[in-house]
Amino acid sequence: MFESVSDLIRDAEKIVFVTGAGISQESGIPTFRGKDGYWRKYDPMQLATIDAFYKNPKLVWEWYEDRRKNILAAHPNKGHLAISDLAKYKDVIVLTQNIDGLHQRAGSNQVLELHGSIIRIKCTVCDFKDNITDSFDGLPPKCKCGEILRPDVVWFGEALPQDIWHDAINHAKSCDVMIIVGTSLAVSPANTLPIFAKQNGAVLIEVNPERTVMSEYMDLSITETSANALPQLISLLEFRR
Ligand code: APR
């Protein structure tokens, strides 16, 4: 299985990864729709929409603060590190739906965060934005302008940051290989990126222990976990360098 893929990767000029919660699962961060996923326990409409936030900003902040602490205690796994490693030999762009920053902590520096970042905050009214450096005195935290601050993440029903989405489409349209890792492809518009890539002649490779709604659309589906499969892929490449 890996032989045919490593040929494709070896000859590729530009490789785009589209990643989701599954790539961080082996770092101890729950997915959303998996058996231990967040949306099995919580209602996303109560925690991940702008209406939910204005209805109960304290509850939403408590949930994000709990996730942020878990994420800061986590470490990049072999899957994140393999992607960062590959960038030493190839032009690698990471389009991630994850807000955990683990790709960057693994050393990847061409990362587009399609759904924002849990370690960034922004004001609900003025244009204040900043990284969260420590915990807050009270929730919800307040901006200097007096309004409440919110996590700088994209909630259901909100548009992705237009500049980031525009760049993501351009990368999808201009890659030779797109590797889709650890995502159910259940959420748009991120789940349209493989279509843009395919329309422009890219080879699609999926890495996911389970089949997804787009598995039949892929040129190759590697039904393994990412921390298992990605290092094997890259080691073959290094051998062939
Ligand atoms: N390695 C690779 N894939 C895995 C692993 C693993 N170790 N463990 C689970 N997976 C796969 C699951 O099979 C599933 O297909 O990861 C996928 C996770 O899917 P979701 O939980 O739906 O997460 P994701 O696709 O990232 O969700 C997209 O939905 O709730 C919103 O904003 C949230 O960014 C998120 C978006």
- Please compute the mean of the pLDDT values over residues 184-201 and round it to a whole number: 97
The runs of H, that is alpha helices, within 76-225 are: 78-86, 102-105, 162-173, 193-199
Counting Cβ atoms within 10 Å, is residue 134 exposed (0-12), middle (13-18) or buried (19+)? Answer: exposed
Q: How does DSSP assign 15-72, residue by residue? A: EEEEE-THHHHTTT---SSSTT-HHHHS-HHHHSBHHHHHH-HHHHHHHHHHHHHHHH
Give the atom of ligand 1 at the shortest distance from the alpha carbon of 21: 26
Query: Which range (5-9, 96-100, 217-221) has the least confidence?
Result: 5-9
Q: Taking the CA atoms of the chain, what radius of gyration do you get in angstroms?
A: 18
For a substitution probing ligand 1, which of 18, 24, 25 has the most ligand atoms within 8 Å of its CB? 25
Q: pLDDT band at 19, cuts 50/70/90? A: very high
Q: Is residue 236 helix, strand or coil?
A: helix
Arithmetic mean of pLDDT over the chain: 94
Helix (H), strand (E), coil (C) string for 66-78: HHHHHHHHCCCCH
Confirm or reject: Cβ of 224 under 6 Å from ligand 1.
no
Q: Look up the pTM and report it.
A: 0.96
Confirm or reject: Cβ of 215 under 6 Å from ligand 1.
no
Question: What's the confidence (pLDDT) of residue 233?
Answer: 83
Confirm or reject: Cβ of 225 under 6 Å from ligand 1.
yes
Q: pLDDT band at 183, cuts 50/70/90? A: very high
Inform me whether the pLDDT recorded for 160 exceeds 90: yes
Q: pLDDT band at 9, cuts 50/70/90? A: confident
Confirm or reject: Cβ of 19 under 6 Å from ligand 1.
no
Give the atom of ligand 1 at the shortest distance from the alpha carbon of 212: 15
| Chain centre distance of CA 213 | 18
Residue nearest to atom 14 of ligand 1 (CA): 184
Question: What's the confidence (pLDDT) of residue 210?
Answer: 97
Alpha carbons 34 and 195: distance in angstroms, whole number: 24
Ligand 1 midpoint to CA 190 (Å) = 12
Question: What's the confidence (pLDDT) of residue 1?
Answer: 62
Residue 197 and residue 168 in contact, taking contact as beta carbons nearer than 8 Å: no
Q: pLDDT band at 11, cuts 50/70/90? A: confident
Alpha carbons 205 and 176: distance in angstroms, whole number: 11
Question: What's the confidence (pLDDT) of residue 234?
Answer: 82
Report pLDDT digits (tens) over 108-154. 999 999 999 999 999 999 999 999 988 899 999 999 999 999 999 99
80, 103, 115, 171: the active-site residue: 115
Provide the percentage of residues in the chain whose pLDDT is more than 70. Answer: 95
Annotation says 115 is catalytic: yes
Through-space distance between the first and last CA atoms of the chain, rounded to whole angstroms: 19
> Is the preceding peptide bond at 189 cis, omega within 30 degrees of 0?
yes
Q: pLDDT band at 62, cuts 50/70/90? A: very high
Domains and CATH numbers, the chain: 1-28+75-115+160-241 (3.40.50.1220), 30-73+117-153 (3.30.1600.10)
Question: What's the confidence (pLDDT) of residue 133?
Answer: 83
Alpha carbons 99 and 113: distance in angstroms, whole number: 7
Report pLDDT digits (tens) over 102-116. 999 999 999 999 999
